[in-house]
Amino acid sequence: MKMRFAVSAALLVAASCPWYASAGTFDFTFAGGGVSGMVALTYGSTGDSTYPQALEVTNITGTFTDTNLGISNATIGPLVPISPATPHDPGNIGVAPNDFSFYPVASGLAHGAISYDNLYWPGGSVPTAFDYPASGGFLDIYGLLFHINSGADVVNIWSNGTFVPGGPIDYGVAVVNADKSLDYVSGGVQITPEPGALAVPGIAVLGLLVWMRRRSLVKTV
């Protein structure tokens, strides 16, 4: 009876762990290069058709600060809806997510637009461009795009990933509007926590279940 109760309790803990959720929320903070913020993501159970493990973000709230622009605690939201498009680089067709989108910017960016896909990668992003093999992080190299103060300015936050398995994940942030690029922090932005850290309780629970199963078998043989 005690063993059954312990297993039931462990399963309840596992069910409550974000690592097991196919839809839910993820809260994080970020800071670096003069930008910072507190963000709450809501993501659904629908995955990108090219990468089903990447879940579509459905809502975003929080605050955003950019000391480079004099922006302090701007209200985050809403998301800029995705508008699936073809990548500029033909080599990335088929490897970029199906939700890959462009937000046109008249001046200040190389291709006249900033890319995004509004995808959340709970297990860590994979390489999504032939010419950029780095990967990792709960966002990919295209990232999330959202309004601040429900106005014309939008913010893109993306993962630069890592070239070393298990290495630290680096992020970038850009602030733009339809007319021009206002700020571009290409890297050096750190996020806390990474979803990988949230998986630890789930892994610990699995370890507990395996240990209890083995102990039960030893006692009954």
Every domain of the chain and the residues it spans = 21-199
Mean pLDDT of residues grouped by 10 in the chain (221 residues)? 36 38 87 98 97 98 98 98 94 94 96 97 96 96 98 98 92 98 98 66 36 34 35
Looking at residue 165, its pLDDT comes to: 86
Looking at residue 23, its pLDDT comes to: 78
Question: 3-class secondary structure for the chain?
Answer: CHHHHHHHHHHHHHHHCHHHCCCEEEEEEEEECCEEEEEEEEEEEEECCCCCCCEEEEEEEEEEEECCCCEEEEEEEEECCCCECCCCCHHHCCCCCCCCEEEECCECCCCCEEEECCEECCCCCCCCCCCCCCECCCCCCCCEEEEECCCCCEEEEEEEEECCCCCCCEEEEEEECCCEEEEEEEEEEEEECCHHHHHHHHHHHHHHHHHHHHHHHHHHC
